[in-house]
Amino acid sequence: MSSDEILVDARGHRCPVPTLKLRRALEAAAPGARVRLLADDPLARIDVPHFAAQSGAEVLERGEADGTLTFLVARPAV
């Protein structure tokens, strides 16, 4: 994780909480900011990309390790 990323740890929460936490972090972040979401709810695989597409955000990275899903999402620059 890079120092310019905002970390949102939503592990232990079920849908829709991880996506809601991501939305709040993106709304509070500066334009162009990047938020890394950690989630362990399998539905996040579907919910996060769908939310990003609806909100104009961009999923830059997706990963999974030891049951934790990670998403790096960029807030639109404008």
Query: What CATH number is associated with residue 15?
Result: 3.30.110.40
DSSP helix/strand/coil, 65: strand
Give yes or no for residue 78 having a pLDDT over 90. no
Number of structural domains found in the chain: 1
Beta bridge partners of 65: 68
pLDDT in tens, 32-75: 999 999 999 999 999 999 999 999 999 999 999 999 999 999 99
Domain of 68 in residue numbering reads as 5-74
DSSP helix/strand/coil, 24: helix
Q: How many residues are given for the chain?
A: 78
The rounded distance, in Å, linking the Cα atoms of 25 and 30 is 10
Beta bridge partners of 54: none
